[in-house]
Amino acid sequence: MHSLRSWGIGVGALALMALASGSANAAMIEVTVENLAPMNSVSFAPLRIGFNNGTYDSFDAGSTASAAIVSIAEGGSGADWFPAFMAADPSATLGTVVPNPAGPLVPGATGQGVFDVDGSTNPYFTFGAMAVPSNDYFIGNDSPTEHEVLDASGNLLVSEIVLTASDLWDAGSEVDGIFGAAFLQGSSNSDRIADNDPVGFDFADLSIFDGSTTAAGYVFESQLNANTPIYRISFAAVPEPATGLSMLLSLAGVAIWRRR
C-alpha cells in the first residue's frame, strides 16, 4: 500500500516538475500603448509588434524603404511586414495591439494586448505603426536589438518605451501632401505620388496638414516640437493561470486517495 501511495505522489511530482521545466522561460506579457500627443494632434494606426531574436531588420535610416516598412508607413496594415518578419525569424511572437475602442489611436487613447513570449529565444521587441494624418510617416525601431525587454528567464528588463516627436520617421516612399494622405476627410489613402527619398526622421512637415479635418472628426493641429511626447509602450508581466497546476495536483491527490 505504501508503494502505491508513493507511486501516486511520484507521478504528481514528476508532472509538476515537467510543467515547471516546460514554462521556465515563458512569460505572459501585457503590452499597453498610449497616445501622448496633444489633443487634435497626431494619431496612429494599430501597433504591429514582434518579440524576436534580434535578426529581423525592417528598415535602415538613410536607405530606401523596404516593401515591409512601406506597408506600415503608407497603410498601417503590415501586410508585407508580418510575412517578411516571419520569414526572417520563424520563432518570433507576432501580433497587433488594438486600440480600445478599435480604430485609430487618437490623442489620449490607449490599447492593450497580451502575448505569450519565450524570453530565451525572443528577448527583443520590434514595433511599427503608421502616424496619421500623413502619406508615409511611422514609428518603429531602426535596430532590431534596440529594445531588449526580457531576460533568458522571461523577466522584464524594461517597463516602458516613450517616444517623442523627434522619433517620427518619414519612409520617403510617397510625396507629402493632402493628396493621398491617410486619415483626412476628402482624401483617399489609395492615391499616392511615388517618391524615392531615404528613410529619415521628420516631424516638422506634419504641419502641412494643419487645419485639415481628420477622419475622426477633429481639426488637425500638429503642435509638435522635437521633445513633445507622442507615444508610450508599457510592459507588464501577467501571472500564469493556475489551471494546469491545479489539475495536476488534483490528479496526484486522486491517485493517492484511491489507494488508501
* pLDDT tens by residue, 185-234: 999 999 999 999 999 999 999 999 999 999 999 999 999 999 999 999 99
Rounded CA separation 230/38 (Å):
8
pLDDT of residue 16: 42
Cβ-based burial of 133 (10 A; exposed 0-12, middle 13-18, buried ≥19):
buried
Rounded CA separation 106/118 (Å):
32
What is this structure's pTM?
0.85
Classify domain 26-239 by CATH number. Answer: 2.60.40.2130
pLDDT of residue 13: 46
pLDDT of residue 252: 45
Residue 175, classed as helix, strand or coil, is coil
The angle, 0 to 180 degrees and rounded to 10, between the axes of the packed helices 243-257 and 2-22 is 170
Rounded CA separation 88/113 (Å):
23
pLDDT of residue 240: 73
For the chain, 260 residues long, give each residue's pLDDT as a single digit of tens: 444 333 333 444 444 444 444 456 889 999 999 999 999 999 999 999 999 999 999 999 999 999 999 999 999 999 999 999 999 999 999 999 999 999 999 999 999 999 999 999 999 999 999 999 999 999 999 999 999 999 999 999 999 999 999 999 999 999 999 999 999 999 999 999 999 999 999 999 999 999 999 999 999 999 999 999 999 999 999 987 654 444 444 444 434 334 44
Query: Hunting for cell 528588463 — which residue is that?
Result: 157
CA angle 138, 144, 145 (to 5 degrees): 130
